[in-house]
Chains A and B, each alone.
Chain A
Amino acid sequence: MMNKELMIDVKNVSKVFKDGTVALDRVSLSVKKNEVVVLIGPSGSGKSTLLRTLNLLESPTEGEVYFEGVSLSDESTDINHLRQKMGMVFQGFHLFPHLTVLDNLRIAPVSLKKQTISEATITSELMLQKVGLSEKAKNYPSQLSGGQKQRIAIARSLTMSPDIILFDEPTSALDPEMVGEVLNVIRDLASQGMTMVIVTHEMQFAEEVADIVYVMDKGRIIESGSPEIIFHQPKTDRCKEFLKRVIEKK
């Protein structure tokens, strides 16, 4: 039997795109329950691709991804069912523009018959409260600021009460003054014990919120460990170089 506390287990995953680009090269990683895992590394290092293999938005060309003990690539696996338990928040928000905020939150639980409309309304309102945007329920996404959109996107993933949330550079598309409000929501989730995998370029935030940091470069994990170690005593030269570069930029 697998360790029950092990929520995600990535074993030797490789991803080669059709044009021959190697995005992931034999990557292994695991995420325990209640853990916050942060993936950092230069652009094009494979962080986002790795994150996207976790819910099979990207299918690995080799290796296995297990979610709660179930292999995603197994033919009998119902990926739609597993995805209900894995929230995802994107860099570009991807709210549904033709639906009000409230309907953005309700559509999945109602369509998937997880909740009745009135139940979903109650959950949705609760989640809006959680991200501090109750007053926006009747608005359309186009009427929101970037920071508000991303908070709604987080609330939308929460309405399915997921076991884990995957964040793909949640603040990279935001104006600097809006980064804080989104990070605060993620901080709150972390303090409530939500299991999360976060791809980010916000190093300070990564250091503060992460239980484990993975550093990626050229499709490989080059270093992993606690934020104290990674940010203050990195072992490899490549990791040192990367950190020096991002910190100089600030």
Chain B
Amino acid sequence: MDFSFLLDPYYINILLQGLLTTVVLAVVSVAFGTLIAIGIGLLRMMKSKVIRFIFGAYVEIIRGTPIVVQLIIFYSLFHVNVLLIGNYDLSPFIPGMFTLFINSSAYMAEVIRAGINSVDKGQWEASRSLGMTYTMTFWKIIFPQAIKNILPALGNEFVTLIKETSVLMYSGVAELTYQATMIKSQTYGFMESYLVAATFYFLLTYPTSQLMKRLERRLAKSDE
């Protein structure tokens, strides 16, 4: 195996750019995905049957179809013209980010909904009987407990999302996998370029899952 391309500043630059893009994609979609997921999770618990049905269907359809296919559909659906920020064209990002938001929010909405439902009904009653409003009870009593319950599942979702950013190579976003493919085609080092990419992904996912575990332990201190 020949890893000598790792010594070439040209390839290092390509790889680091890909890594940076992947990190940005992951962070942005985790953040927005979680926010959208909380919204959808809440909407799925509304009294209105119509709203519950619509967002239930949303979750089922998104979870029941492959992310690559979704990406290609959204890609052909949105005809985004060149969108220059500085001298960087953001247009390929639009369908890609959209896919990641939609996809991660559907998975996380289920997790969040389950977390909210897992909080004992007595917690609602205790809080409401003190005179606290529904909204206050939700944000101060129920939600913090729900998040604690679902942190492991949420951590998994974050890790999955980091890996799934790789589908954006199909829409021409120069993220890590895309760059690895490019290096492969220039150096003919098939195995080597993807091994390097895999290592980089692992260097992102492993600290993430460790971080989530630490957060879990910190939040678990009230259970001691």
Interface residues in chain A, defined as those with a beta carbon under 8 Å from any beta carbon in chain B:
55, 57, 80-88, 90, 92, 94-100, 107-108, 111-112, 140-143, 153, 156-157, 160, 166
Contact = CB atoms under 8 A, between A and B. Distances in A.
A241 to B, nearest CB: 32
A166 B129 CA distance: 10
Given A90-B126, A96-B141, A111-B136, A83 B131 contact: yes
Contacts of A88: 125-126, 129-130
20 contacts: A57-B129, A83-B130, A85-B131, A87-B130, A88-B126, A90-B126, A92-B120, A92-B122, A94-B123, A96-B126, A96-B127, A96-B141, A97-B145, A98-B222, A99-B222, A107-B130, A107-B140, A107-B141, A140-B223, A157-B130
Given A90-B122, A108-B132, 14 more contacts: A80-B128, A80-B131, A81-B131, A85-B131, A88-B129, A92-B120, A92-B122, A97-B145, A107-B130, A111-B132, A112-B130, A112-B136, A142-B222, A142-B223
B2 interface: no
Contacts, number: 80
Interface string B27-48: 0000000000000000000000
A94 B130 contact: no
Nearest to A88: B129
A97 B126 CA distance: 12
Contact of A156 (B130, B219, B221): B130
B125 A94 contact: yes
A85 B129 CA distance: 9
The 4 lowest CB-CB distance pairs between A and B, nearest first, are A84-B131, A94-B126, A88-B129, A108-B130
A140 B131 contact: no
Contacts of B126: 88, 90, 94-96, 153
Given A98-B148, A108-B130, A160-B130, A143 B122 contact: no
B130 A143 contact: no
A192 B156 CA distance: 54
Interface residues on B, range: 20 to 34
B123 A96 contact: yes
Interface string B173-192: 00000000000000000000
B172 interface: no
Given A94-B123, A96-B123, A55 B221 contact: no
Contact of B224 (A108, A143, A160): A143
A80 B120 contact: no
Interface string B192-222: 0000000000000000000000000001011
